[in-house]
Amino acid sequence: MSFLFRIHIAVLIPFLFIASALEAQDDSMLGFSAESAVFQRQLEASLDEQIDRDNLQKWMERITAKPFFVGSPHNKENAEFVKKLFQEWGYTAEIVEYQVLFPKPRIRKVEMIAPERYQALLEEPVIAEDSSSGVDGRLPSYNAYSADGDVTAELVYVNYGIPDDYKELERRGIDVRGKIVIARYGGSWRGIKPKLAYEKGALATILYSDPRDDGYFQGDTYPVGSFRMKWGVQRGSVTDLPLYTGDPLTPFIGATKDAERYSIEESPAIMKIPVLPISWGDALPLLRSMGGPVAPASWRGALPITYHIGPGPATVRVHLEFDWNLEPAYNVIARMEGSEYPDEWIIRGNHRDGWAMGAADPISGHVALMEEARAIGVLAKNNWRPKRTIVYASWDAEEPGLLGSTEWAEDHADEIREKAVAYINTDGNGRGFLRMGGSHTLERLMNEVAREVEDPQTGVSVWQRVQAQRAISGNTEVTTRPDLRINPLGSGSDYTPFLQHLGIASLNVSYGGENRGGVYHSQFDSFDYYKRFGDPGFHYGATLAKTTGRLSLRLANANVIPMRLENFADNVELYSSEVMDLLEKTRASIDRNNQLVDMNAYSLAADPTKTYVPPESEDPAPYLNFAPMQNAVSRLKESAKNLDIEMKRVMETGATDTEIQSLNQLLKSTERLMTNNNGLPRRPWYRHQIYAPGFHTGYGVKTLPGIREAIEQKDWDEASEQIGIVADMLNQVSEALEQAIRILKS
Amino acid sequence: MSFLFRIHIAVLIPFLFIASALEAQDDSMLGFSAESAVFQRQLEASLDEQIDRDNLQKWMERITAKPFFVGSPHNKENAEFVKKLFQEWGYTAEIVEYQVLFPKPRIRKVEMIAPERYQALLEEPVIAEDSSSGVDGRLPSYNAYSADGDVTAELVYVNYGIPDDYKELERRGIDVRGKIVIARYGGSWRGIKPKLAYEKGALATILYSDPRDDGYFQGDTYPVGSFRMKWGVQRGSVTDLPLYTGDPLTPFIGATKDAERYSIEESPAIMKIPVLPISWGDALPLLRSMGGPVAPASWRGALPITYHIGPGPATVRVHLEFDWNLEPAYNVIARMEGSEYPDEWIIRGNHRDGWAMGAADPISGHVALMEEARAIGVLAKNNWRPKRTIVYASWDAEEPGLLGSTEWAEDHADEIREKAVAYINTDGNGRGFLRMGGSHTLERLMNEVAREVEDPQTGVSVWQRVQAQRAISGNTEVTTRPDLRINPLGSGSDYTPFLQHLGIASLNVSYGGENRGGVYHSQFDSFDYYKRFGDPGFHYGATLAKTTGRLSLRLANANVIPMRLENFADNVELYSSEVMDLLEKTRASIDRNNQLVDMNAYSLAADPTKTYVPPESEDPAPYLNFAPMQNAVSRLKESAKNLDIEMKRVMETGATDTEIQSLNQLLKSTERLMTNNNGLPRRPWYRHQIYAPGFHTGYGVKTLPGIREAIEQKDWDEASEQIGIVADMLNQVSEALEQAIRILKS
């Protein structure tokens, strides 16, 4: 079906009811009256008709024609291009600029000086099969916010360089103090690796991509297949993202021209030692020259060598120097004013900056956002307007650490906290399965939408494919629970400032899993690659636009903000049982350890010809008073259930505008109640009490992080304190829900 | 301590009580009165004093000086040498000869003809660091009992080539009919691989050693480290060992000169397609040239390639021809007549033939057997004789399929069934932890001995090290159960004809785990290697001699044969609960599968761009009547407990010789009651109803094999029938125990 033909249908019969093969199990639609649901389905059918895969491909080709990292000329051009399109589509659009710290390398040297010499190439090759691989103006491979430095030391292989790996090193009596560590990518967020290495006394960190993780072990390598080639390098930020996101110099405030800034030395988020990513082609000579104990089985990658830990004899010099300049970050912010509730915002964002050619990350998601916005623009030209304001955000400077979104969120914190109903994020996208993450108040909405979007490969709903995938992987709940659980969010994309700093209910949506490869943050995340391996035909780009378009439209048009609190309560109950279970498992593990220590079992089971430092006995874990949290969860479940009953009744029997508006005000602010102005322990910027990235583990989410991380760290006093904080927080949410029930019952 | 000094002590104070630092938890000794236990401990202390590590080294060096495979000149020399030594040590010794089928290769060719040419080298190199690597008269690398053949076909990579792997191939729509399969070693006994390939229609099988399994992935390779080098090849037999062991031409009967033999064509145990083992050096060019789907993650080895399944484009010619000759197998059988019960035999065996230089396999165990025999010979020169007859067996032709031991066992089946109390087997040995396998009637004995043998590296008992190792690995039972469980026996060494064909209570003992490497069945299983990596200083060889020496002496000297039936009953109860659990798990798995089929989940979760054949629904599993087995287990537990009480009483209060002799007769025959003259379904040679190698899986044990394998194969009628057979068998054992109780109570 051609582009024109679709426009034609949309223009002629925009609101004709188009029967969908994929209706939800009943016709009800969360937050909508029966009548308004019929209209909404018509609207969404028209949205689908608008979506044109050719646009996605065309825009991606243009945007990724040249490198578009922060501060690059083409990034600015892209911002202008996107702004202009938004304006053409009927939005008010502006470029909002911040001045952010964005270091770029001046000197990058990794050289092995013993037992033999090897100078790392640190270059990704130009290949005939990838037309952008030789393009001018590329940013070399590096880790943003690495320290400057010139150090020479013996190498220690630390596997993924995560906390458990250092425990293994300890068992072997190996200390990284005064050494350079080499860690493979994977197992955690990259920034954790140099941070831990620094805390353990290492002088520098080399990161590399082992072919086990995204290279030939996984599949054929580019350009034959999709996986990482010998010389491919993963760039990326190593700012201390679990501490705060955004410009490392301006936590809590917008990085405006005149903002008060930390000096580079003062910034707690900037890495204290040099870090550089290299390819496995450059890592192999180093790793091959290592001695010392053979690495544990789970540490071994796919290089054709015996992996040794060291230290040495490989001795390496790492020399890095950066230009530490402020660069402009250009967020494009476009609005379509709401017809009824202009001060209730649905924010819909995707970043626009990329490390190299950035086709998958982030343009695959960005062009879907654009097509969604264009389609809604077309709908809005046909005598329809969203009830609420839709704000589209094309973020800059996400790659160095969510700078564009964070600075905007910090800069407009009060307004956003007042007005934002929800934030919907996308980032990279590809062929495969729907991935749903976010606030559990939005779980039902997400499920309703997923049940109505068709998977382009199988013709069933995208919901059914996810259900099938989870069922196959052994999840039995999916055949009985009405909604598929959406994943709680850690960090790693632009939802973080909204969800975890400001307390805005958020969703993060993508497709993927059948687009596996190894070009992430390398030169080969290119248009040529994406067309072959990312999403051939841009079918899933279109599907993403239909999915997030529905989310935007439902949130914008619903009579009552489409949140369902029972889903929230159900997940909180799960997390609360998890943290209680964690304590019991920790107790059992400590007891078991102490028994093994008493038996001298560690030493007796160890090979006496090898260095082995047995674990020591630990203090037993106390029992903690979880009752306040348990009582709060019970209350929450009850109030959530009752509110859902009342809301359903209201949808059927109607309510006054005032009641509805009061209810919406309460629903809108629910997520804010989950935050705490003091933030989490040792990281006040992270305020959400239910979702946070792991302080010690990076991107990966920790639910009920205050309690969970205290138990993980065996800080029992803090765990007790955090139980109280979480109980208070849940009680505040329940209080609000009970207030809403009273309004509706009155 | 020198050899002479030790002899000196032993001669002067042979029966002086030498206090051991490693006494059992109490002084009681299974089968011994308090008085005879004191004597026995003196005897065992004297045994320890005799053991001289230098002998082990000296004999190994001599025996492994030249290749000593079946029919080789040095094998004959070794037989003569061993016989002469036994005679010098006071044994009556003879060489018992059989004529066994032992094919040797005349033509070995593996050649890739497309997409490019590669001629496999099929040679292990001569290396300076290994003095025997270039020795004359070596047997080339091959698989004994491969078929002759010359076939050319596309290659299919089948991972380990075990049943689960073919299920994966089926899912991908890949058929091996008319193809040549290439399988890596590991995951099962090698003979299963070509057998399955043949059943699935393949024309030939290539086996190779992936560096993932015993090469550079595991550790440094020989001669730097102990793991398999690029060109190292694992030889080995591919006779259908789970059907019967021994000469493939003479099941059930001794392969005497005039025995009636199958023709080669008639033998059901000889492989029907050509099979050849190759090194990874030879496998790499083939595997690198494969196309088709990428192999599942668990199939991928450590070669620096993307593993593809094929078929092709790699097209390979395999051409093998063998000389199918009978060769003499020389068992050395040595006896020391029992002073009181000459017709009660303790048989103690280790094989003596090796594929190449055979230092670890089998000579490391064989020299321990020799030193044990020598030490007992010394004890016997000092006015002491064992009460029962000890028979030492130096088996020939184990490598091609337990031929020496099986032919002797079959040839003397009636006498062995009448006289044998127990068979104690050893094979390869090395540094590390005690490994105990065998009949559970001997579990307590094995534990008692293990508690009194000192680990040469740590000074604690070898029992404690195993306990520690199991505790560390998460086994919580070891801190509460008085005895460490011994492993049930499958097959893979010379205990099989005794245990599983004749029903003789058996043990299989070795040390290992700290001798890991990759020279198994290769040219580099050499004296040079063994001294460095197998058991430096032969400390564990000496420890093995002390361990098995104690086992031999206790079995030979005990007043009452040292079996404990409660241990047996306890393990049988475990196995019976396992098979019931297996049915429940099978039922759940079928139900789950059917649910997934009904949901169409398999197809929806699959990548539509790849060939995928979803599983079909299955008939639900019925409930089976396990009650007869459960009742029999209850009775067995009760009668075992009561017999142990009675035996303990007798040990304390005494009994008449007639009573003791009647009791011993009953104990001796207990294991025979566990056999069934009809054998197991489809393999009448395997008669034991509790222990068997897996019919479809090879060496690995299947306990209660009749029931277990029927459930695994979802043959519910056979499972029901086998429950009855097992119940009857257990009731017969209980009957015998109850008879023994009556004798002792009378």
Q: Chain B interface, mutation test: which of A514, A604, A612, most B Cβ atoms within 10 Å?
A: A604
Residues A523 and A461 placed together within one structural domain of the fold: yes
pLDDT at B15: 39
pLDDT, average across residues A528-535:
98
pLDDT for residue B7 is more than 90: no
Domain end among A528, A563, A598: A563
pLDDT at B26: 64
Q: Is any Cβ of chain B less than 8 angstroms from the Cβ of A609? A: yes
Burial annotation A707-720 (CB, 10 A radius, 16+ → b, else e): bbbbbbeeebebbb
- Rounded to whole angstroms, the Cα distance separating B38 from B58 reads 34
pLDDT, average across residues A242-246:
96
Residues B268 and B299 placed together within one structural domain of the fold: yes
Range scoring the smallest mean pLDDT among B133-147, B477-491, B649-663 = B649-663
Q: Which range, A93-97, B658-662, B700-704, has the best average confidence (pLDDT)?
A: A93-97
B472/A605 touch (CB, cutoff 8 Å), yes or no? yes
- Rounded to whole angstroms, the Cα distance separating A28 from B728 reads 64
| Per-chain mean pLDDT for chain A | 94
Pairing of strands A104-114, A315-323: antiparallel
A609/B514 touch (CB, cutoff 8 Å), yes or no? yes
Name residue, tokens 């020479």.
A152
Residue pair A358/A135 in contact by the 8 Å Cβ criterion? no
> Amino acid letter at A515?
N
Residue B628 preceded by cis peptide, ω within 30: no
CB contacts under 8 A, B 442-471 vs A, are 457-458, 460, 464-465, 467-469, 471
Residue pair B506/B439 in contact by the 8 Å Cβ criterion? yes
A469/B608 touch (CB, cutoff 8 Å), yes or no? no
pLDDT at B5: 32
Percentage of chain A surpassing pLDDT 70? 97
Number of domains in chain A: 3
pLDDT, average across residues B235-250:
96
In Å, how far is B382's CA from the nearest CA of chain A?
38
Q: Give the model confidence (pLDDT) of A253-311 as tens digits.
A: 999 999 999 999 999 999 999 999 999 999 999 999 999 999 999 999 999 999 999 99
Please list every residue in chain A whose beta carbon sits closer than 8 Å to the beta carbon of residue B469: 601, 604-605
Alpha helix locations (H) across A654-746? 657-673, 705-712, 716-745
pLDDT for residue B349 is more than 60: yes
Residues A484 and A513 placed together within one structural domain of the fold: yes
Q: Give the model confidence (pLDDT) of B669-695 as tens digits.
A: 999 999 999 999 999 999 999 999 999
A217/B306 touch (CB, cutoff 8 Å), yes or no? yes
Name all contacts of A564-567 with Cβ < 8 Å and 24+ positions apart. Answer: A564/A30, A564/A441, A564/A443, A564/A444, A564/A445, A564/A644, A565/A441, A565/A639, A565/A640, A565/A643, A565/A644, A565/A670, A565/A737, A566/A637, A566/A640, A566/A641, A566/A644, A567/A440, A567/A441, A567/A443, A567/A444, A567/A483
CB contacts under 8 A, B 211-230 vs A, are 211, 216-221, 225, 227
Range scoring the smallest mean pLDDT among A132-146, B101-115, B379-393, B639-653 = B639-653
A306/B219 touch (CB, cutoff 8 Å), yes or no? yes
Residues A355 and A487 placed together within one structural domain of the fold: yes
A604/B465 touch (CB, cutoff 8 Å), yes or no? yes
Residues A536 and A611 placed together within one structural domain of the fold: no
- Rounded to whole angstroms, the Cα distance separating B100 from B145 reads 12
Between residues B746 and B409, the one the model is more confident about: B409
Element (H, E) at A300: none
- Residue partners of A60: CB distance under 8 A and separation at least 6: A359, A363, A364, A367, A527, A530, A538
Residues B287 and B347 placed together within one structural domain of the fold: no
Q: Which domain holds residue A592?
A: 566-745
pLDDT for residue B18 is more than 80: no
Task: Provide the token pair at B671.
Answer: 């294991």
Q: Give the model confidence (pLDDT) of A425-435 as tens digits.
A: 999 999 999 99
Q: What is the CATH number of the domain that holds B445?
A: 3.40.630.10
Domain end among A272, A302, A324: A324
Residue pair A36/A407 in contact by the 8 Å Cβ criterion? no
pLDDT for residue A43 is more than 60: yes
Element (H, E) at A702: strand A698-703
pLDDT at A651: 83
Residues B138 and B205 placed together within one structural domain of the fold: yes
pLDDT at B12: 36
Name residue, tokens 């020279």.
B519
Q: Chain A interface, mutation test: which of B306, B477, B540, B600, most A Cβ atoms within 10 Å?
A: B306
pLDDT at B27: 75
Residues B130 and B85 placed together within one structural domain of the fold: no
Cα–chain-centroid distance for residue A89?
29
Q: What are residue A321's DSSP bridge partners?
A: A107
B601/A217 touch (CB, cutoff 8 Å), yes or no? no
Domain end among A563, A598, A616: A563
* Count of other CB atoms within 10 angstroms of residue A149: 16
* A16 — pLDDT class (breaks 50, 70, 90): very low
Report the complex ipTM. Answer: 0.94
pLDDT, average across residues A398-408:
98
pLDDT for residue A14 is more than 80: no
Q: 3-state class of B381 per DSSP?
A: coil
Q: Is any Cβ of chain B less than 8 angstroms from the Cβ of A315? A: no
What is the Rg, in whole angstroms, of the alpha carbon atoms belonging to chain A? 26
pLDDT for residue B168 is more than 50: yes
Residue pair A520/A361 in contact by the 8 Å Cβ criterion? yes
Residue pair A698/A241 in contact by the 8 Å Cβ criterion? yes
Residues B59 and B197 placed together within one structural domain of the fold: no
pLDDT at B13: 38
Range scoring the smallest mean pLDDT among B13-27, B525-539, B712-726 = B13-27
Range scoring the smallest mean pLDDT among A10-14, A114-118, A627-631, B537-541 = A10-14
Q: Is any Cβ of chain B less than 8 angstroms from the Cβ of A302? A: yes
- Give me the helix-helix angle, A539-557 and A34-50, nearest 10°: 150
- Closest Cα in chain B to A475: B592
Residues B504 and B418 placed together within one structural domain of the fold: yes
pLDDT at B134: 87
pLDDT, average across residues B623-635:
98
- Rounded to whole angstroms, the Cα distance separating A259 from A272 reads 24
Please list every residue in chain A whose beta carbon sits closer than 8 Å to the beta carbon of residue B605: 465, 468-469, 471-472
Residue B362 preceded by cis peptide, ω within 30: yes
Residue pair A395/A494 in contact by the 8 Å Cβ criterion? yes
Percentage of chain A surpassing pLDDT 90? 92
* Count of other CB atoms within 10 angstroms of residue B580: 17
A599/B305 touch (CB, cutoff 8 Å), yes or no? no
pLDDT for residue A18 is more than 70: no
pLDDT, average across residues B512-534:
97
Pairing of strands B149-157, A143-144: unpaired
Kindly state the DSSP code that residue B614 receives in the 8-state scheme.
Answer: P
Q: Please choose, from the candidates A679, A675, A703, the residue with its C-alpha nearest in 3D space to the C-alpha of residue A691.
A: A703
Q: Please choose, from the candidates A53, A52, A48, A51, the residue with its C-alpha nearest in 3D space to the C-alpha of residue A537.
A: A53
- Give me the helix-helix angle, B53-63 and B365-380, nearest 10°: 130
pLDDT for residue B279 is more than 70: yes
Size of interface A-B (CB pairs under 8 A): 110
Task: Find the Cα–Cα–Cα–Cα dihedral A406, A412, A417, A419, rounded to 10°.
Answer: -120
**Longest CA span, chain A:** 83
> Amino acid letter at B632?
A
Kindly state the DSSP code that residue A126 receives in the 8-state scheme.
Answer: P
pLDDT at A26: 64
| Per-chain mean pLDDT for chain B | 94
- Residue partners of A52: CB distance under 8 A and separation at least 6: A3, A6, A371, A542
What length does chain A have? 746
pLDDT for residue B363 is more than 80: yes
Please list every residue in chain A whose beta carbon sits closer than 8 Å to the beta carbon of residue B294: 218-220
Please list every residue in chain B whose beta carbon sits closer than 8 Å to the beta carbon of residue A465: 604-605
- Residue B693 phi/psi, 5° resolution? -70, 150
- Rounded to whole angstroms, the Cα distance separating B687 from B675 reads 5
Whole-angstrom CA distances from B189 to A208, B237, B681 are 38, 10, 20
* Count of other CB atoms within 10 angstroms of residue A88: 11
- Residue B104 phi/psi, 5° resolution? -125, 145
In Å, how far is B436's CA from the nearest CA of chain A?
16
Q: What are residue B680's DSSP bridge partners?
A: B683
- Rounded to whole angstroms, the Cα distance separating A336 from A342 reads 9
- The sign one gets for the Cα dihedral B103, B105, B107, B110 is positive
Q: Is any Cβ of chain A less than 8 angstroms from the Cβ of B300? A: yes
* A699 — pLDDT class (breaks 50, 70, 90): confident
Q: Please choose, from the candidates B174, B62, B86, the residue with its C-alpha nearest in 3D space to the C-alpha of residue B373.
A: B86
Q: What are residue A182's DSSP bridge partners?
A: A157, A206
Q: Please choose, from the candidates A632, A517, A446, the residue with its C-alpha nearest in 3D space to the C-alpha of residue A220.
A: A517
Residue pair B247/B698 in contact by the 8 Å Cβ criterion? no
Range scoring the smallest mean pLDDT among A32-36, B466-470, B631-635 = A32-36
Q: Give the model confidence (pLDDT) of B118-137 as tens digits.
A: 999 999 999 999 999 989 99
B306/A220 touch (CB, cutoff 8 Å), yes or no? yes
DSSP structure string for B355-370: SSS-IIIIIIHHHHHH
pLDDT, average across residues B463-488:
96
- Give me the helix-helix angle, B365-380 and B73-88, nearest 10°: 20
Residues A584 and A558 placed together within one structural domain of the fold: no
Please list every residue in chain A whose beta carbon sits closer than 8 Å to the beta carbon of residue B218: 294, 306
Residues A181 and A280 placed together within one structural domain of the fold: yes
Please list every residue in chain B whose beta carbon sits closer than 8 Å to the beta carbon of residue A214: none
